[in-house]
Amino acid sequence: MPQETTPSHGEIHCPVLLEEILAHLLPRDNGIYVDGTMGLGGHTAAILDRCSPNGRVIAFEWDARAIVLAQKKLATYGDRVQIVRRNFAEIKQGLTDLGIPAIDGLILDLGLSSLHLDEKTVSGTGRGFSFRGGEPLDMRMDNRMPRTAADLVNNAAAEELADIFFYYGEERQARRIAAGIVTAREQEKIETTEQLAAIASGAVPKRFHPKKIHAATKVFQALRIATNHELENLEAILRDAPPLLNPGARFCAISFHSLEDRMIKWGFRNNPTMQELSKKPVIPTMQECQKNPRARSAKLRSAIKL
């Protein structure tokens, strides 16, 4: 998960591992590529530049706010880019609807974008992805989804919450935090990030607080993953994407925490039609991390269709 840092000079989007993605994907003229996580369009634009003049990108994005901003950035590419408002887990149906039987490459940039972390600063309204301010505890990437993070926090049993924090956030104090949430919600409904961060932090003895991150960081990560079904979506694309790739096509995926990285690694290794480009993930250079601190936990894994 990208760390909570404030953007500088008004910059809210800096594509992670951009040159490395291009080096692994190898976009070419006349190719058809999928950006499964368009976000604000940084990777999409770079691929279009590299595969000009006739290469195309099908950009999947389920966040309506991101689509509005990306459309402005990508307008100059005309019909070389097509935006699909779907989660990448629906890649098979999305490409079928467009009449595209196979593609020449696929990228994913998982986790939060800078838009989500800085949304309140940029637009005045946040969705609870950051706990720097008192934002509504929503956390839905797609506002068409029925259940918010607040619904989970206020209605799930203590055992379910503890499992979410432990398995999705790898939070060792999961049971303490879940018990603290249940106690707190008996007094008042938990509706903001400020409330949740204070409850999570207060439930854990100071001696167990992590040194480098806020005590609520893993709780927020876990709730976001659960609210958006992120691991289920990743499992779906690791299963459904390889049959859609032409021979020689590359599948490149950037993850920000160990759960995703392990899924991608074994998804590639257990698929006999895919061959890893390297056994170890590619990580950002020191220079990139200095320029964009949110990149420091990123890992890129890539595989080629046999």
The pLDDT tens digits of the residues spanning 69-120 come to 999 999 999 999 999 999 999 999 999 999 999 999 999 999 776 666 665 5
pLDDT at 8: 37
Q: How far apart are CA 280 and CA 297, in angstroms?
A: 14
Confidence category of residue 14, pLDDT binned at 50, 70, 90: confident
pLDDT at 217: 93
Buried/exposed code over 109-118 (b: 16+ C-beta within 10 A; e: otherwise): bbbbbbbbbb
Confidence category of residue 194, pLDDT binned at 50, 70, 90: very high
The whole-chain average pLDDT of the chain stands at 92
pLDDT at 131: 75
Q: Would you list the domain boundaries of the chain? A: 18-114+231-305, 125-229
CA 299 centroid distance within chain: 12
Same fold, 18-114+231-305 and 125-229: no
- Contact of 185 with 157, CB cutoff 8 Å: no
**Residue 62 has which token pair?**
């389920």
The percent of residues above 90 in pLDDT, for the chain, comes to: 86
**Beta-bridge mates of residue 106:** 34, 251
- Contact of 302 with 24, CB cutoff 8 Å: yes
Comparing C-alpha atoms, which of 272, 239, 292, 244 is closest to residue 113? 292
Q: How far apart are CA 227 and CA 236, in angstroms?
A: 16
Confidence category of residue 129, pLDDT binned at 50, 70, 90: confident
pLDDT at 125: 67
Confidence category of residue 4, pLDDT binned at 50, 70, 90: very low
Convert the pLDDT of each residue in 201-220 to its tens digit: 999 999 999 988 899 999 99
pTM assigned to the model: 0.92
Residues 144-152 have a mean pLDDT of: 97
Domain 125-229, CATH homologous superfamily name and number: Putative methyltransferase TM0872, insert domain (1.10.150.170)
In the predicted model, is pLDDT for residue 37 greater than 70? yes
> Is the bond preceding 136 in cis, omega lying within 30 degrees of 0?
no
**Residue 125 has which token pair?**
């309204």
- Contact of 190 with 138, CB cutoff 8 Å: no
Q: How far apart are CA 76 and CA 272, in angstroms?
A: 40
pLDDT at 3: 40
Q: How far apart are CA 66 and CA 113, in angstroms?
A: 10
In Å, the largest CA–CA distance within the chain is 61
Handedness of CA 58, 53, 301, 19 (dihedral sign): negative
Comparing C-alpha atoms, which of 91, 118, 43 is closest to residue 234? 91
pLDDT at 139: 95
Residues 23-30 have a mean pLDDT of: 98
Which residues, in sequence order, are CB contacts of 290 under 8 Å at separation 6+?
A: none
Confidence category of residue 6, pLDDT binned at 50, 70, 90: very low
pLDDT at 2: 41
Task: Just give the CATH number of 18-114+231-305.
Answer: 3.40.50.150
Residues 214-243 have a mean pLDDT of: 96
Q: How far apart are CA 163 and CA 107, in angstroms?
A: 30
- Packing angle of the helix pair 42-50, 18-25 (nearest 10 deg): 40
Residues 260-275 have a mean pLDDT of: 98
Least confident of 50-54, 62-66, 99-103, 234-238: 62-66
Residues in the chain: 306
In the predicted model, is pLDDT for residue 11 greater than 50? no
**Residue 235 has which token pair?**
């499992």
